[in-house]
Structure 1
Amino acid sequence: MAKATKKRPTRKPYTAADIKLLKQHSKAKTPVSKLAKLMKRSEGSLRQKAGTLGIGLGHQR
C-alpha cells in the first residue's frame, strides 16, 4: 500500500492592496501579532516582506 504524502502549503502572493495595507500599518506602528491576524499571514512572512520593501514593522526601537 502506498504511503500518503503530505500536502505542501501553497504560498499566497502579495497583492498591491496587501502591500499598501502593510505600508499603512508600518507607519501606524501596529504590532506585528495584530497585523498577522488581520492579514491572515504569519509574522515571519510579514517581516520578510517588509524587509524586502525596506520598511520597518512593529514598534521599531
Structure 2
Amino acid sequence: MAKAKKKIVRREWTKADVKQMKAMAKAKAGVKNIAKSLKRTPGATSVMAAKLGVSLSMRP
C-alpha cells in the first residue's frame, strides 16, 4: 500500500510574522531559528525575506 502524501497547508504572512522576522534578522538569528520561531520552513522564510528585501545573513 502506498504511503499517503502529507497535505500542504499554506498560511498567510501576518504583519506580526513579518515584524518578528525583521527583528530577528536584525539580531542575526539565522534562517533556521527564525523559521522555527515562526513555525514555517526555512525555504518559505527565505523566500518571504527576499520579497521584502530583508537579509537573513548571520554575518556581522
Q: TM-score range by the shorter chain?
A: 0.7 to 0.9
TM-score by length of 2: 0.80
Count of equivalent residues: 57
C-alpha RMSD over aligned residues: 1.8
Which is greater in Rg?
1
Which structure exhibits the higher relative contact order, with contacts defined as CA atoms closer than 8 Å and separated by 6 or more residues? Answer: 1
| Percent of aligned pairs with the same amino acid | 37
Secondary structure of 1:57 counterpart: coil
TM-score by length of 1: 0.79
For structure 1, which runs of at least 5 residues remain unmatched after alignment?
none
Equivalent-residue separation in structure 2 for 1:57 and 1:7 (angstroms): 28
1:1-61 equivalences under 5 Å are 6=5, 8-60=7-59
